[in-house]
Structure 1
């Protein structure tokens, strides 16, 4: 009958523990509001969940879930090295996908998944939440309008804290490789991957062909295989470059940010806050705050209305070039005892604070140099 309201789209959440719990809660809230229907959840551990709506199916894995019925959309929040295979299975079954970042653990997997998504005619949104913010488009417009003059370079920084418990959260945590597979759980490719992806988005360099070369400078303070304190120089088509400096061994958590430097000023995007600070000599700083669209909401709107995705898989190509350089380049170097402080934390946990790392990150951005190029003592 004409005028009948279509039923809300059915959504499944695969991976409902760890970060997946935030996805599950968003879907539960949207279900309660009538914007979608939680059709099913899947996870090997389903014994500690919030109350689920009546009729929600429970499965141990995605294969079992799809065998019982394919929803319109699947949210995948599973270990990095499982992303490619699970996303492939979901889109081949006929579902659209919200895939947690990084989308794949290797460039080869990215290429294969991209071809599969295109052949299946499905949508694949990558979970770089910051790309759902209107702040990214605002910065692009301000740069295009010449507010900072000619762009001289892009940079990104993040000073966060991770403890031993973080690296004990899962068997794959803190690994570059595990059981012969690439895992890519380093600072640049997982916890602070948003710094890289958001900077590439601001620079208009999200596709694979937009990144021409990547230099990495990787270290670890914790007893892990992957990096926790890292710098990278990303060369972009057109001659500009992006300098990234991050750490998970700061004294305290600071807000990560992306900077556009120009001949007439600079713009800083605090991407977790959706806040932009524009600084032009002779003028007071201009601070603006922007709305953010949840990427699942955006995916469902794209399904219904044909609007473009805010974070489509193809736009993770540039980020994947960086990831590939991180996991195939020189292994992260350990920082020697004496350059960091061990902190005893409740419950037998331990933190590690790299002395002066905040100043090192600031210097890297100021000098547009990696940590090793700065000649810092702990890099020798």
Structure 2
């Protein structure tokens, strides 16, 4: 028994984890890695695995059941469409698209082809995330005052120099929207929306975005975004890639009867550890039995894509004043530390407030809520 025939597109960096995961499923007879596509080529793969420079060549040469796409953001839609039109189901890394227009385009392809498109928000398959979402829905935390997503991460120059698209809002005239909110800490925003039961396109009423940067990049690395959902819940995202220390991101539910903290990378609610399902395994189960629901179908990322669209159309991130930034390291290890950013993130989270509303020293402007059409 060899299981589903799987191809992986983009096998370096995070893509390597997908190769390992297919190998794990192959040992259980659930999947077989038949081909990969990457312009950089491939090393250390079994001789049975065919290697191609692009997905079009791969699909022309071999039959596959599932295509895993782990490529630059701006390539997601054309590659996913190519795979689905060839009859394959898709596991697509996050963020699925760089704009609402692309999201609508890809949604139309899903509807037309009838193929499955699972999006790589792994935290959505965490028992911890789903348990807390159930607690919120059942009123166990009382009336929800709001939800906050907090990220205090470290990214060095190496991160922004790993690829041409890294840290870019646009590249060669194409939207990329690679910023703290929309890519490295995208899981935090997506999990917060899931906890509120507001994952769909129509579940978001308005979005306010304040985007800043300490790094010499186009995109944001220190930002607050406030989402107001259709049910009236404020969701405050406060994140930075310029912290003193790299800490696990968390999503906090503020209720009248209690406060719950989800540490989604470790599958924790408070100190209680939960398990996590595998998204590819779930996609294979759905293929075998369509009554098995996907954890993260494309439609369930519509609310998050509203956030991407708000960031995409927001004014370019403002540079944080040099006197508010301390630099450490040299060369590829060089990184900025925004002074006291951890304190300002905590205050924003507690107050469900934008940086400008609490007087963070780098703020000089405020956006206004924009009603979502």
TM-score, normalization: structure 1? 0.93
1:146 Cα shift?
2.5
For the residues of structure 1 that align with 2:138 and 2:98, how far apart are their CA atoms? 37
Q: Is 2:3 the counterpart of 1:8?
A: yes
Stretches (4+) displaced over 4 A: none
Q: Match for 1:55 among 48, 51, 65?
A: 48
Question: Residue in 2 aligned with 1:355?
Answer: 339
* 8 Å Cα contact 1:70-1:94 kept in structure 2: no
Q: Is 2:305 the counterpart of 1:320?
A: yes
1:348 Cα shift?
4.7
For the residues of structure 2 that align with 1:317 and 1:187, how far apart are their CA atoms? 19
1:65 Cα shift?
0.4
- How many residue pairs end up in the alignment? 363
For the residues of structure 2 that align with 1:33 and 1:137, how far apart are their CA atoms? 26
1:296 Cα shift?
0.5
1:349 Cα shift?
2.6
For the residues of structure 2 that align with 1:144 and 1:41, how far apart are their CA atoms? 42
Q: Please list, as runs of the form range in 1=range in 2, the aligned pairs for 1:1-380 lying within 5 A after superposition.
A: 7-47=2-42, 49=43, 51-277=44-270, 287-306=271-290, 307-345=292-330, 348-380=332-364
* 8 Å Cα contact 2:151-2:239 kept in structure 1: yes
* 8 Å Cα contact 2:196-2:233 kept in structure 1: no
For the residues of structure 1 that align with 2:238 and 2:5, how far apart are their CA atoms? 40
**Unpaired runs of 5+ in structure 1?**
1-5, 278-286
Output one character per residue of 1:103-154: Cα deviation in whole Å (capped at 9) or x when no partner: 0111100001001011101000000111111112211222233221111111
For the residues of structure 2 that align with 1:147 and 1:196, how far apart are their CA atoms? 22
* 8 Å Cα contact 1:133-1:293 kept in structure 2: yes
For the residues of structure 2 that align with 1:115 and 1:297, how far apart are their CA atoms? 25
1:344 Cα shift?
1.2
1:238 Cα shift?
1.5
1:32 Cα shift?
3.2
* DSSP 3-state at the match of 1:378: coil
RMSD value, Cα = 1.2
* 8 Å Cα contact 1:38-1:53 kept in structure 2: no
For the residues of structure 2 that align with 1:348 and 1:103, how far apart are their CA atoms? 29
* 8 Å Cα contact 2:2-2:26 kept in structure 1: no
For the residues of structure 1 that align with 2:332 and 2:309, how far apart are their CA atoms? 35
